[in-house]
A and B are shown apart, each in its own frame.
Chain A
Amino acid sequence: MVAVRSLWRLPALLLAAGLAAASMVPTAARADGVPRPDIPKAVKGKQCVLPTEDMRKNHMKYLLHHRDLTMHEGIRTKKFDLRECLDCHVPKEPKGQEVHVTSKKHFCQACHAYAGVKIDCFQCHSDQPSEQSPHFHTLSGRPIGHPGHKTVGTKLSAGELEAMAVGGGVK
């Protein structure tokens, strides 16, 4: 009897000592003492397209899935457009002062450096907000995702068709 009771004395002593020690350690940013990454706040919008916790956990899944849809099937949506992500999360700075993904101040790199995961995206993709954020325009001036009602030079009007039929070219 006495032997069993004394067997538990040592672990109990150690536990008490550990708790005392932990409570004496000065805490860092948060109460539990675990350092957190310094993630820059988004520059616009109140809410991401999906809940934050969902994004934090699954953004790679969404990125990979939608990049394949866009690449192979041409499905382009505003919700899962990488440019829209960057437009919200990366501030537009004057030339020469851009925050690139090489710096921990970049939204993506802040967390990725902390997690120790190398980012492959920005070898090819621009890591800056799009050229004419908030809306991207092509050379023609029309924003992506907002198709125009008039197309450029791909269809002929009846008059042009008639002119062709007569034997002239289209001028």
Chain B
Amino acid sequence: MSEDQNNNTDLARRRFMGGLAAAAAGTAVAPGIVLVATAEAKPAGQAVTSKVRWGMLIDTTKCADGCDACVRACNEENGLTQHDDPLRDAQWIRKVEVKNPDTGYSHSFPVMCQHCAEPPCADVCPTGASFKRADGIVLVDKHICIGCRYCMMACPYKARSFVHEPLHDQKSYMPRGMGTVESCTFCVHRVDNGETTACVEACDRDGHKALVFGDLKDPNSEIAQRLAAYGGTQIRKDLGLNPGVHYKGI
């Protein structure tokens, strides 16, 4: 072949290889663009549906002993002023240290409202103030809560707190008041706005990335992928409540 022809062939080959590489790169990246570009927030003014089920995955192997970033973030986000009275202060999320007395292995991880699919708190509430939203978030409708605390008796995870004192300076997006019961809301004010929860955000910001929040029903979500790949369990799974919070490593 002449040099020109060789050059042309080389050029053509290079272009072809370049084209292939571009196609491959595009194929690799394009789904990501499509995935990321799809807004997860539901449009404002629309009702939530059960097509979505919000859940959380807590990787206890990544949870650092002594770190309470998630707890502090929750307290700040929701305006949970602490009065140095651990018996009565609201604790929506807490770090629990669990030790196996036989093996000596111990680790710590956060526990909050498990947002069960069959919440006993909603079963026992006389007015229906404790309820499960269609998208799986368990909430307290404080407008009709009479403060009887039966839900606190019924919760197997001790997730709920009662407000024991008059409150001031509540956050505008998180109303809470004396005489009503409250618990983790999965930061519903953020979730409805297309964002993630404060605890997950704080854990990510601190670099531990032990918490993952997402749609359990969406097979493409990170949480669903992780659960499918690595599995996870739920606290007191035997009670059959099907909590939305999954744990890895307990």
Contact = CB atoms under 8 A, between A and B. Distances in A.
Interface of A: 67-69, 71-78, 83, 86, 123-126, 128-131, 136, 138-140, 142, 144-162, 164, 170
Given A144-B193, A158-B31, A75 B135 contact: no
User: Which of A124, A136, A144, A148 is packed against the most chain B CB atoms within 10 Å?
Assistant: A124
A71 B222 contact: no
Given A71-B141, A142-B195, A149 B190 contact: no
A164 B225 contact: yes
A155 B220 contact: yes
Contacts of A164: 225-226, 229
A125 B175 contact: yes
A123 B168 CA distance: 8
A68 B42 CA distance: 18
Looking at chain B, what size class is its interface with the partner chain? Answer: 35 or more
Given A128-B172, A154-B213, 8 more contacts: A67-B143, A124-B175, A125-B170, A149-B37, A154-B196, A154-B214, A155-B38, A159-B32
Main SS of chain A's interface residues? loop
B173 A77 contact: no
Contacts of A161: 225
Interface stretch (B2-10, B44-52, B63-71): B44-52
B46 A75 contact: yes
A142 B32 CA distance: 23
B30 A158 contact: yes
B134 to A, nearest CB: 7
Given A140-B195, A153-B200, A131 B171 contact: yes
